[in-house]
């Protein structure tokens, strides 16, 4: 099996599970394999990346070389040595809400 180590960016909220490392190398041929390998290497990180059905929830974005995987092939997106996978959780707060304009009538 060819070694296809991929560099994975670990966001600040997840670093407590990776020994405070910013980047780790994980083997895999697809994004899904890399994320599963990351979970095997760092127990508990999968709970932050996947929902109960092992899907990536809307509040977590995964990128390969700065391209969001939903615009590619999702977790089946192929990766190769030298690629970078980034797992980015949404930051809570700051959401915009539509505000209605109210007119006073006399």
Q: What residues are paired with 64 via a beta bridge?
A: 67, 85
Say which CATH number the domain at 69 has: 3.10.20.30
Tell me the pLDDT band of 34, cut-offs 50, 70 and 90.
very high
The set of residues, in sequence order, having a beta carbon less than 8 Å from that of 19 and lying 6+ positions away, is: none
For residue 93, give the 3-state DSSP assignment. coil
Residue 65 domain-assigned? yes
Flag whether 94 is in a domain.
no
Q: Rounded to whole angstroms, how far apart are CA atoms 35 and 40? A: 9
- Domain residues for 33? 5-89
pLDDT digits (tens, 9 = 90+) for 45-101: 999 999 999 999 999 999 999 999 999 999 999 999 999 999 999 876 544 444 444
Does residue 22 sit within a domain? yes
Residue 15 maps to a domain: yes
Rounded to whole angstroms, the Cα distance separating 90 from 104 reads 38
Structural domain contains residue 97? no
Model confidence pLDDT, tens digit, residues 1-18: 446 799 999 999 999 999
Task: Please tell me the predicted confidence (pLDDT) of residue 106.
Answer: 45
Residue 85 lies in a domain: yes
Can you tell me the distance from the alpha carbon of 14 to that of 22, in angstroms, rounded to the nearest whole number? Answer: 9
- Number of structural domains in the chain: 1
The answer to whether residue 61 sits within a structural domain is yes
Here the tokens at position 81 are 């040595």
Q: What is the pTM (predicted TM-score) of this model?
A: 0.81
Classify 52 as helix, strand or coil. Answer: coil
């Amino acid at each position: 099996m060819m070694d296809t180590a991929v560099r994975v960016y670990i966001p600040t909220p997840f670093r407590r599970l990776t020994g405070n490392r910013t980047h780790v190398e994980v083997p895999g041929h697809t994004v899904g394999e890399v994320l599963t390998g990351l979970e095997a290497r760092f127990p508990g990180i999968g709970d932050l990346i996947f929902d109960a059905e092992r899907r990536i929830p809307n509040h977590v974005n995964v990128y390969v070389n700065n391209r969001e995987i939903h615009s590619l092939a999702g977790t089946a997106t192929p990766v190769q040595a030298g690629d970078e996978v980034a797992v980015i959780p949404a930051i809570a707060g700051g959401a915009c809400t539509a505000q209605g304009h109210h007119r006073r009538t006399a």
